[in-house]
Amino acid sequence: MVDDQSVFILLTNTGTLFTKVIQGYTRAPYNHASISFNRELSELYSFGRKNPNNPLNGGFVKEDLQTGTFSKYPNTTCVIYELRVTERDVAKMKRVLQAFIRKNHKYFYNILGVLGIALKEPIEFSNSYFCSQFVAEILQRSGVRLWDKLPALVTPDDFRQCERLQLIYEGKLNEYEP
């Protein structure tokens, strides 16, 4: 690829009750997905808890490894993947992301969409996403297609199984050194 660049996909397992419920169904080791535009994960975005202390208030979030939800769960395990894309792809992704940032208060967590995964039926609402749906949406709207399925059917484990992603780290999130 000309002008190669990378985005980073972070999959995590915090061990929370919600994660354990999802894991009971998926049997996957990681059940939360985020996207970052740098290896340090300082620009990390997803759909999850807006407030680390309130699991019921979810939506679009800029995640912070030091002060956000992950800081409350020091035993969080993770896997980090690198996805090589073009400079143009990254520019498109950042434009799509800016729309989410500008209207962040209008977005909600798509809890019914998570149930749709179990039913193998996409359940979509405008301005409503779950974590892996959001990451897949950013990629797809930017022209990066990793699967032949709707973002509303993409799970964190789909990223783990994707051959285009290069593993760069697996272990405790708080022990990650870029």
pLDDT at 50: 87
Q: What is the DSSP letter of 6?
A: E
One-letter amino acid of 123: I
The yes-or-no verdict on residue 24 having pLDDT over 80 is: no
Please answer whether residues 155 and 28 qualify as being in contact, where contact means their C-beta atoms are separated by less than 8 angstroms: yes
3-state secondary structure of 169: strand
Domain that holds residue 119: 4-175
Q: Give the pTM.
A: 0.93
* Residue the block writes with tokens 């939800």: 69
CATH code assigned at 135: 3.90.1720.10
pLDDT in tens, 36-56: 999 999 999 999 988 877 777
Residue 119, both tokens: 């039913």
pLDDT in tens, 109-146: 998 998 898 888 999 999 999 999 999 999 999 999 99
The yes-or-no verdict on residue 4 having pLDDT over 80 is: no
Give the number of domains in the chain.
Answer: 1
